[in-house]
Chains A and B, each alone.
Chain A
Amino acid sequence: DIVMTQTPLSSPVTLGQPASISCRSSQSLVHSDGNTYLSWLQQRPGQPPRLLIYKISDRFSGVPDRFSGSGAGTDFTLKISRVEAEDVAVYYCMQSTQFPLTFGGGTKVEIK
């Protein structure tokens, strides 16, 4: 299975300031169809995960534009341009290039 590694484990951020999370995969996530199936999920306390970003940089329906994704191959980044109180959550990267799905260990974004 593809191993996903996320950093940092925790990210204390001041409201209105940016946050950045990195994710690295143990092998290239480029699918034979040419797409790279790297997604970012948000899990607020007591809630199920919610899809934010898919195929590296496409925002899912209803996701605010302060969330953005970038990267290629095996290295990917999620950025929050200006953190709001509702962004307090654990964020996971996920690959769906191969099955079963595999996930990074999670990054907790909290307010300083």
Chain B
Amino acid sequence: QVQVVESGGGVVQPGRSLRLSCATSGFTFDRYAMHWVRQSPGKGLEGVATISHDGNDKYYAESVKGRFTISRDNSKDTLYLQMNTLRDEDTAVYYCAKGTGADFWGQGTLVTVSS
């Protein structure tokens, strides 16, 4: 069955960096676009970044453009999110979601930006 498992979250100071990973299994990873979506505590959902199946096309929310980088390793069935120059407002649970229509979601990993 399809599985997506996020990791790499934690507590980090403002201005520092963090790299999230999303390990997948149960589907042919290199055939699907993938997304990172975040949810601040008690708030709604925000699409952070999307990457095409082959990694050639990447899209970012304005709020993270220039600071975050989405990437993938199709040989490892893994999605990444490199987050630089983190701000307080980046505090959220970060979810990885499969496919153009986000049909499977992981449990998420919590990123807390705090001094």
Q: Are B101 and A37 in contact (CB under 8 A)?
A: yes
- Cβ of B11 within 8 Å of any chain A Cβ, yes or no, is no
Q: Are A1 and B61 in contact (CB under 8 A)?
A: yes
A93 to B101, CA, bound (A): 12
Q: Are B45 and A100 in contact (CB under 8 A)?
A: no
Interface string of A78-105 (1 = CB under 8 A from B): 0000000000000010101001111111
Q: Are A48 and B106 in contact (CB under 8 A)?
A: yes
A110 CB to closest chain B CB (Å) equals 16
Q: Are B47 and A101 in contact (CB under 8 A)?
A: yes
Please report B residues at the A interface, Cβ cutoff 8 Å: 33, 35, 37, 44-50, 59-62, 95, 97, 100-108
Please report A residues at the B interface, Cβ cutoff 8 Å: 1, 37, 39, 41, 48-51, 54-55, 60, 92, 94, 96, 99-106
A94 to B95, CA, bound (A): 15
Q: Are B105 and A48 in contact (CB under 8 A)?
A: yes
Number of A-B residue pairs having CB atoms within 8 Å of each other in the complex: 63
Q: Are A92 and B45 in contact (CB under 8 A)?
A: yes
A7 to B57, CA, bound (A): 33
Q: Are A100 and B48 in contact (CB under 8 A)?
A: yes
Other than the given A92-B44, A96-B100, A99-B33, 13 more pairs (CB < 8 A) read A1-B61, A41-B45, A48-B106, A49-B37, A51-B102, A60-B103, A94-B45, A99-B50, A100-B35, A100-B49, A101-B102, A106-B44, A106-B45
B33 CB to closest chain A CB (Å) equals 8
Q: Are B105 and A100 in contact (CB under 8 A)?
A: no
Q: Are B59 and A48 in contact (CB under 8 A)?
A: no
* Cβ–Cβ < 8 Å partners of A104 in chain B: 44
A86 to B114, CA, bound (A): 36
* Cβ–Cβ < 8 Å partners of B37 in chain A: 49, 101
* A-B pairs with beta carbons under 8 Å apart, 7 shown: A39-B102, A41-B45, A51-B101, A100-B49, A100-B50, A103-B45, A104-B44
* Cβ–Cβ < 8 Å partners of B45 in chain A: 41, 49, 92, 94, 103, 106
Q: Are A103 and B105 in contact (CB under 8 A)?
A: no
